Amino acid sequence: MMRPWRIGVVGSGPAGFYTAYKVLKNIKNCQLELMEAMPVPYGLVRFGVAPDHPEVKAVQNKFDVVAQDPRFQFIGNVRLGDTVSVDDLRARFDILVLAYGASKDRTLGIPGESTLNGIVSARDFVGWYNGQPAFKHLKPDLTRGKDAIVIGQGNVALDVARVLLSPVDALAKTDMTQYAIDTLRASKVRHVSLIGRRGPLQAAFSIKELREMLNLPGVTLKYDRDLLVREMNEHSAVLAKDRPKKRLLELLLNYKPPVEPTSRSWSLDFLASPVEFIASKLTPTQVDAVKLSVNTLQHDLLTRRTSAMSTKVHKTMDAPLILRSIGYKSVSVPGLPFDEIKGVVPNTQGRVLQSDHIDEQKIVPGLYVAGWLKRGPTGVIATTMYDAFQTADCIIADISTQDPPENSIVADREEFMKLLTARGQRPVTFQDWKRVEAEEKRRGALLGKPQEKLTSVQDILAVIDELNEKS
């Protein structure tokens, strides 16, 4: 009997699960291990997607169907680059797919950013309200003043602003962590400014997320309408060819503020780049304001890119809470090719390349990449799905006409689990996770919400051990 193809996938976010789904569908004779650094699956679906978007989180149900395939095994609490190396995995799997996402965020690199309190990464803030163990102790201080600034105008910036301005009673009915709900209940934040370095045409958020913000009860939007009209008129030919962008800008243009005065507001502040964070005079360790360079736009006809150019004029904006939301960043793992400039594993359609130098492009046999690690940290779950399918198609094309090479890979599932245990690691299975999930739902029901997440790795492992003992 021919041995099965041994396929390892690192990362259990949408990229990992969708790759697994398509590979399992098309390669019958295989065993697939989905390895994950956290003791729980789903990546940003659990730790990124906003709690008030349950319809998005429902994609987990599709992933659960994949996990029911007997050829599939989830192994949580295993970190590539820590518990296991690339060499360990290459020696045990015929095919290795890297889908470990983007686990850092971009920084501005300006004075005060890394030294002052009150400057919070949006990634950490999102992880905090979503119960990501690394951020449970973040404790953002929302009580220092009524103003907050978010730097960046992408969908993450809008998520963060919406959470800060939403009625807390509505959030309390979601799976947002209870400690975040309690903190938001005590929040004094009443106005959130979203700062974009470029103009309204370049705003990175999408229409559904903008509409949600415009529909927030008791919240007003402020923005420079003259600038929007000017930009729309000047670029009407471009907008005629870009329907989604045109619809988004029209939504903004047709916005009517509530008739009654509101206690909360947000603003879109275009054409401004942070150049320095300013310390409070009273508490010099605390941020009080950001100095911004006022920008103008420069359109490059050749590249069609619109860049922000500083006018050398500056202004300051006061706020004791500043969230940096300028994008995520993937990190390299020893033993893997990595393009530091693009922040991706160099690849062609998902097949990993030895080097990103155009004249030396050589495919590394058996090594693949999917998701944000493959194309950079942009795109919604649907984009990630198509991207993962492309990677899976490459794998299928590369192996479906062959048999697994004889004897080159001797290890099997059991041997791999033994290796992990020998390294002092406690691998978490999908069955373990389902028990954790049931416990989270039980705790959620007591609080009148769908789920109350366990927020420390220790607690998750303790619950698994306890429930396993009982069963």
Spatial neighbors of 132 by CB under 8 A, at least 6 apart, are 47, 455
236 CB neighbour count, 10 Å cutoff: 10
Strands 104-105 and 328-329, by their bridges, are: antiparallel
Of 20, 49, 108, 221, the one binding ligand FAD (CB under 6 A) is 49
Q: Are 43 and 68 in contact (CB under 8 A)?
A: no
157 binds, among ligand NAP, ligand FAD, none (CB under 5 to 8 A by kind): ligand NAP
36 binds, among ligand NAP, ligand FAD, none (CB under 5 to 8 A by kind): ligand FAD
* 350 lines the binding site for ligand FAD (CB under 6 A): no
The DSSP 8-state label assigned to residue 362 in this structure reads -
Residue among 151 and 364 whose Cβ is closer to ligand NAP: 151
Residue 103, SS3? coil
DSSP string, 240-304: HH-HHHHHHHHHHHT----SS--SEEEEEE-SEEEEEEEE-SSSTTBEEEEEEEEEEEEE-TTT-
Least Cβ distance, residue 119 to ligand FAD (angstroms) = 18
Least Cβ distance, residue 100 to ligand NAP (angstroms) = 16
197 binds, among ligand NAP, ligand FAD, none (CB under 5 to 8 A by kind): ligand NAP
CA distance 406 to 401: 15
Least Cβ distance, residue 426 to ligand NAP (angstroms) = 32
16 binds, among ligand NAP, ligand FAD, none (CB under 5 to 8 A by kind): ligand FAD
Question: What mask, x for binding ligand NAP by CB under 6 A, covers residues 348 to 377?
Answer: -----------------------------x
- Residue 285 one-letter amino acid: T
What is the distance of C-alpha 149 from the center of its chain?
20
Least Cβ distance, residue 471 to ligand NAP (angstroms) = 37
Of 8, 39, 48, 320, the one binding ligand FAD (CB under 6 A) is 48
* 204 lines the binding site for ligand NAP (CB under 6 A): yes
CA distance 31 to 430: 15
167 CB neighbour count, 10 Å cutoff: 13
Residue among 147 and 159 whose Cβ is closer to ligand NAP: 159
204 binds, among ligand FAD, ligand NAP, none (CB under 5 to 8 A by kind): ligand NAP
**Measured CA distances, 276 to 7, 160, 377 (Å):** 48, 22, 25
Of 16, 152, 200, 343, the one binding ligand NAP (CB under 6 A) is 152
Tokens of 105: 């965020």
**Closest CA relative to residue 223, chosen from 194, 248, 247:** 194
* 80 lines the binding site for ligand FAD (CB under 6 A): yes
Question: What mask, x for binding ligand NAP by CB under 6 A, covers residues 158 to 177?
Answer: -x------------------
Residue among 49 and 116 whose Cβ is closer to ligand FAD: 49
* 198 lines the binding site for ligand NAP (CB under 6 A): yes
